[in-house]
Every structure is written in C-alpha cells, then in structure tokens.
Amino acid sequence: MTWRRRQERWMKVAMMAATSLLIGSFFALLTVLVVKGWQAISWSMVVKLPTGGAYFGGEGGILNAIVGSLLLAVGATSLSLLVALPTALLLQPDYAGRKKFAQFLRSLLDGLWGVPSIVYGACGYALLVALGWRACLLGGLIALAFVELPIMVRAMDEALGIVPKAMKEAAYALAFTRYETMRHVVLRQALPSLVTAVLLAFGRGIGDAASVLFTAGYTDNIPRSLFDPVASLPLTVFFLLNTPFEEGQRRAYAAAFVLLVLVLAVNVLARVITKPLSRYIVR
C-alpha cells in the first residue's frame, strides 16, 4: 500500500508547486513593475495631465489615462451588466423552457468569449466610420461592452446555476412568481458570485487595449462629452513602451503599476461593499 501513500505525497507536492508558481509570478510581476517604474512614479504623475513632451520624459502625468480607463471600464461594465443579467437569467431552466436553446446560447457565448478583442475593435471602428463619427468615448464604451459581455454572461450563468433547485422550488411553492423568485431569492443567494462575474468582466475591460485603439482613440485631455476621444492606461503603456527614451519607458512601467493597483482597488472595494449583503447567504 505504500505507493498509494507516495502518490498522496507527490500529489500534494505537485499542487503546492503549481500554486507557488502562481503566487510567485504575481509577485515577480509586481517586482518588475516597481523596479522598472519606481523612478517615474510620483504623486504628480497620478494627478497631472501630460504636458509638452510627456513621451520624451518630459512633464506632467497620466491622469488622462487613469480617468479615461475608469470611464471606459466602469461605463462598459455597467452597459454590459444591463444586457448580461437578463440574458443570464433567461439561460436558467426556470425561463429557458427549451434546453436546446440555452445550450445553443451558451456555446455561442463561449465562441464570442474566444474572439480576440481586436476583432471587436475593428467592427466598432467600422461602425464609427459608417456613422461618420470619430473615435470617441461612446465608441470605446460600446466596443468594450461587447468584449466584456460574453465573459459576464457566462460567469453569471454559472453563478445563478449553483443556487439549489430546491430553494427555488420552495419559493414557487409559496406562490412567488419567477421574477420574485429571481429577484428576492436567487439574486441574493448568488450575490458574491455575481459580483465576481462583474469583476472578471471589469478586469478584462480595463486591461484591454486592442478594442479601444480605434474606437476610443487617444488624447492628452479628459473627455468633456461622450463624443470626445479618450485615453486609456493600456494604450498609455503601449505608446510609452514604444518610445526610444528610457524615461518614457520607465513611465510605461509606472503606468502599468497604476493599472494593477486600480484593478486591485476596485476588487477590494466591491468585496467590501457586498460583504454585509452576503451575510444571509444559505450555506
């Protein structure tokens, strides 16, 4: 029987190794960003717009991109939430009377999930051209919302799917309508996983460069309307890293660090906000 014991031990070692690799790479990433960018990180970088030759190691900060990225990601996430939640609810057996339809929709969404974001960018660009608009915040929002949609719907679908069938039946037996059951029982029970779904989509949205490249454009300013171009952090990183100047490249790493901190901050914030609501979840 000793080989079974050995197997047990080796499995544990393998799992620990894999997990350490993951944790290690996160800290390696953080270290690279800090080491390469620490000289450029400063308060003025976070709170100032770029001035003059910001890309040649000059003045100013990346406030345009920070605000731009938040506008784009928060806006696109809200937009796709409006579409994702009803779609995910429809996918539940309570609504999707025909199972085949739900299965078809799921595989379609999985397909869309795998579509590279530059494709959404290109299609969004074609739409803008057709409408006669220039690259703008609204264009970026729409393209980004489409990037986020499949991931959000599928994650929400999974989240809603784990609510016990018996719990829903208890609600129906009490003469709840489907809407009441979803609204008051299912959504409450699935809340933390739904928040995770939104965060996943937000994470993909705020980090995406390809879809906003042609649709949102780039600017040194903060947009004043939905029809002004808007900057974003991933593109800032891309442009700065492309400069031949060391100072510019340092700022690229600093911008990447800011992006990372932003994502983490939003994650923590969302958890803190939903924590009190998770108190009632039936385990």
| Whole-number Å distance between alpha carbons of 237 and 252 | 5
Closest separation in Å from C-beta 10 to other proteins: 39
CB contact set of 249 (below 8 Å; sequence gap of 6+) = 36, 240, 241, 243
Closest separation in Å from C-beta 166 to other proteins: 5
Closest separation in Å from C-beta 192 to other proteins: 11
Closest separation in Å from C-beta 175 to other proteins: 4
Closest separation in Å from C-beta 57 to other proteins: 55
Closest separation in Å from C-beta 12 to other proteins: 33
| Whole-number Å distance between alpha carbons of 243 and 245 | 5
Q: Which tokens sit at 35?
A: 């080491």
Nearer to other proteins, 25 or 177 (CB): 177
Nearer to other proteins, 56 or 179 (CB): 179
The continuous run of DSSP H or E covering 183 comes out as none
Are 255 and 239 in contact, with CB atoms under 8 Å apart? no
Nearer to other proteins, 36 or 188 (CB): 188
Helix axes 137-161, 187-206, angle to 10 degrees: 140
* CA distances for 72 relative to 197, 199, 226, 272, angstroms: 18, 14, 10, 23
Nearer to other proteins, 102 or 123 (CB): 102
Closest separation in Å from C-beta 202 to other proteins: 24
Nearer to other proteins, 115 or 277 (CB): 277
Binding site for other proteins (CB under 8 A): 93-94, 99, 164-167, 169-177, 180, 184-185, 188-189, 279-283
Q: Which long-range contacts (CB under 8 A, 24 or more apart) does 102-110 make?
A: 106/154, 106/157, 109/150, 109/153, 109/154, 109/157, 110/150, 110/154
Nearer to other proteins, 21 or 281 (CB): 281
Residue closest to 62 by CA, chosen among 206, 266, 254, 202: 254
Nearer to other proteins, 1 or 282 (CB): 282
Q: Which of 220-250 are b and which e, b meaning 16 or more Cβ less than 10 Å from the residue's Cβ? A: bebbeeeebbbbbbbbbbbbbeebeeebbbb
Helix (H, G, I), strand (E, B) or coil at 220: coil
